[in-house]
A and B are shown apart, each in its own frame.
Chain A
C-alpha cells in the first residue's frame, strides 16, 4: 500500500510534464534561435561541443546560417570582420570550457576596438556549476574585464530578455562585446512560448548620451572660430557613428586639415586635399607636425591611444583640446581637455554644422602643412635595389583596386605599410586590429567581411608569421566559395619585432627570424585554392592583377625585401615632433 503512494505521485508528475509539453513545447534552445531571428541575425560564426549541443540541434532544425570555423579564434575574428564592415553585431557561439577560452583573445580585441559582438558560450548545467565539472570554465569571471557586459542565464524565462539586452548593449553607445553564457540545462528547459514577444529591455543603469550639450557645442564653435592652426583628429568613433559624410562636409566648409588614427582610416577620402594621413607612431611627418603645432585640436571619436600620442607630456603642447566622444570616460583620460562633448559623432557633427561660423584665414597654416608634405613625404627603398619593397606591393594593390577594396590586415610591419600606402576612398573598408594588435586577426576577419559583402573585393594583407596563427581557416574559402584574396608580404621574419631589435637592441634578432617556412603555394593548393609565388619585382603587377581579377580565392606569397623598416617612426617615450627616419638616407 505504502509503496503505491509515491508511485502514484510520480505518475501524476509525469502527466503534468506531458501536459506542459503539449501546451508549451519549446525549449530554451529553440527560444534562443527565435531570439536571434528576432534580432535579424543573418549569420553566426561558431564551433560546437558538448555544452552547446542543444543550441546546435535547434540551429539544425531552424533556418539560420551558421559558419563552422576551424578554430574558435577564427570564428570570432570572422565575426569581428563582419561587424566592422557591416556595422551589425557579429554573432559567435562556442562550447563551454576550451571553446569559450579560445574566444578570449577575440573578445578582448573587440573590446579594445569597440566592435559590436554578441558571444554565446555553452556552460555546464547550473546544477554542477562551481564543481569543476568536465569542460567547466568560469567564463563570466574570465571575460568580466574584457566585455562591455556579460550574462549567465540562470532561468530559462530570462533568456529572451537577456538576448535582447545583449544585442542592445553591444550595438549602442560605445559598441563592444557582450558574452551570454548558457548552461546546458537552461538550453534544454521547457519554457512559456509567448515570452519572446513579451521580453522587454530593462537596463536602468545604461543610457548612452547621443546628443551633444548645446552650450558645449557653442563653446566649441567659438574656439574653432578663433583657431589659426586647427587640426581635426578623427578616430573610429566617426566610422562607428557612420558620420563620414558629415565629417567631410564639416572640414570642407572650414578648410580644416584632418588626420586619422590607425582605426579611423577611411573616414575621409585618402586622397582628399585636406587629409594629411595617419598620425602617431608610424604616421606621416605632416600629420604629426600638424598635431604638434596646432592651436586647436578637435578630436572626434579617438581615444588618444599611446600609439597615437607618443609621449603625453610632449603631445600637442600648444593646443586647446575639444574632445567629442560617446564614452565620457575617454574624455580627459589621457589628455587634458578644454571642451568635453559627450555625444555620438554624427549628432555632434550635425550640431556643429548647424552653428555656422567664420573661420580664421588658414592660408599660412595650409602653406606650412603643404611644405611639410613636400619636404617629408612617405619614402622607401634604396637606389638600385631590385627587391620587391612591401610598400610597393601595397601601392600596387591600391592602384589595381582604385582604393576601393575592403582591406584587412594582420599585425606587424605589413599592417603599418598598408595603413600608410593604401589610401581608402570609402568608409567601412578598413579592417585591422588596432588596440590589442592581435596577430592572427587579419585573415579570418577577411572571411567575415566577405560574408558581409559577397560581391565586393576583399583583400587580406598579412605577414608570414601572423598568417600562420589562423591559417587553418583556409578551409572556409573553398567550402563557401569565398573569393578572398590573400597577399602574404613575406619577409621570412617577425618583421615588426625584428625592426625593434634592429633599432633598439643593436640588431640582436632574438627569436624573430623565421627562415624555415611552409610552401604557402602548396598549402593553398592543399586547401583547394590557387596559389602564386612572386619574387621578382617585374612580376608583381601581372600576378597581383591576375589574383585580384579572379573571381575565386587566391593566395599570393609575395617575397618582399627582408630587412627593411617601417618609416618614419616616433620611438617609444618620444614626442610626435621627434620622428626618426623621416628622410631617405
Chain B
C-alpha cells in the first residue's frame, strides 16, 4: 500500500535525521520525503510517501514516529481529501525544429519554461506525482538530459467528503 504521511516536528537540528533514521531501522521503504517550515515559527512539516505491506505496518510506522520526542503529530492522510503537489525540473533535448511539437505536449500540463539553451529546454512541472510521471513518460522519447523531482508535499483539504449516511433499509 502506498501511504501519505504528514509529520509535524519541532524544528531542532537533526530532526529529519531522527525520523528517517527511525524509518530505516524499522525497515520502512520511503518513496519520497519533503520538509519545510510551516506557518508556526519553530515548527516544520514533513510529508512522506511510503510503501507498506499492510495496515498493521502503517500503524507501527505512525506509532514509532509519534514516539520521537521532537515529533508533535503524525497523520496518515491517505484516505482523506488532500491536496498533493510535487515539482519537477526536466531538461529535454529540443532542437528548434521539434519545439512546437514538444510545446504541444507541455501545454496541457501547464509546464513552464525555466531555461533555454541552443538545443535543450528546461521545463518546470507542478502537480501530483502521477501527473509528473505521466509527463515524463510522454517527454522521454525526445531525450531527457536531466531530471530532478522535489518529492510530494501535501495537506488535508478544508472540506472533507462526509461518508454517506447509512440508510436503515440497507441494514
Contacts and interface: CB of A to CB of B under 8 A. Distances in A.
Interface of A: 140-141, 144-145, 148-149, 154, 169, 203-206, 327-329, 332-333, 336
26 contacts: A140-B14, A141-B17, A144-B14, A144-B18, A144-B21, A148-B69, A149-B69, A154-B13, A169-B69, A204-B10, A204-B72, A205-B9, A205-B10, A205-B68, A205-B69, A205-B70, A205-B71, A327-B67, A328-B63, A328-B66, A328-B67, A329-B60, A329-B63, A329-B64, A329-B66, A329-B67
B22 A145 contact: yes
A154 B13 CA distance: 10
Contacts of A329: 60, 63-64, 66-67
A169 B69 CA distance: 9
B165 to A, nearest CB: 24
A453 B18 CA distance: 37
Nearest to A148: B69
Contacts of A204: 10, 72
Contacts, number: 38
Nearest to B55: A332
Nearest to A173: B67
Interface string B67-83: 11111100000000000
Interface residues of B, number: 21
Query: Which secondary structure characterizes the binding site on chain B?
Result: helix
Nearest to A149: B69
Interface string B36-69: 0000000000000000000010011001101111
A328 B59 CA distance: 10
Given A144-B14, A145-B21, A204-B10, A332 B59 contact: yes
Contacts of B162: none
Given A141-B17, A328-B63, A203 B69 contact: yes
A206 B69 contact: yes
Contacts of A327: 67
A205 B22 CA distance: 16
B14 A205 contact: no
B118 interface: no
Contacts of B72: 204-205
A145 B67 CA distance: 12
A307 B120 CA distance: 61
Given A144-B21, A327-B67, A329-B63, 4 more contacts: A149-B69, A205-B10, A328-B67, A329-B60
Contacts of A205: 9-10, 68-72
Nearest to A204: B72
A145 B25 contact: yes
Interface in B20-35: 21-22, 25
A271 B63 CA distance: 38
Interface string B105-138: 0000000000000000000000000000000000
A436 B18 CA distance: 22
Contacts of B25: 145
Given A140-B14, A144-B17, A145-B21, A333 B60 contact: yes
Contacts of B66: 328-329
Nearest to B63: A329
A552 to B, nearest CB: 45
